Amino acid sequence: MSLPHAILTALLEKPSSGLELTRRFDKSIGYFWSATHQQIYRELGRLEQAGHIRALPSPVPVRGRRKEYEVLPAGRAELGDWVARSEDPKPMRSALLLRMRAAAMVGAPGLRAELERHLALHRGQLEEYRAIEDRDFPPERRRTEPDRLRHLVLRGGIDLERFWVEWLTGALAELDREE
Partner DNA sequence: TGGTGCATGTAAGGAGTTACATGATTCG
Partner DNA sequence: CGAATCATGTAACTCCTTACATGCACCA
By CB under 8 A, is residue 120 in contact with its own copies? no
Number of residues that this document lists for the chain: 179
Of 73-102, binders to its own copies (CB under 8 A) are 76, 79-80, 82-84, 86-102
Residue 159 interaction partner, one of its own copies, DNA, none, beta carbon < 5-8 Å per kind: its own copies
* 105-110: long-range contacts, CB 8 A cutoff, minimum separation 24: none
- Given the rule CB under 8 A, which of 25-33, 49-57, 62-70, 133-141 is the region that contacts its own copies? 25-33
Is 7 or 158 the residue whose CB approaches DNA more closely? 7
Q: What phi, psi does 107 have (nearest 5°)?
A: 90, 160
Largest interatomic CA distance in the chain: 69
Q: Which of 83, 70, 105 is nearest to 149 (CA)?
A: 83
Looking at residue 91, what DSSP letter applies? Answer: P
Site for its own copies in 143-172 (CB under 8 A): 145-150, 152-153, 155-157, 159-160, 163-164, 167, 171
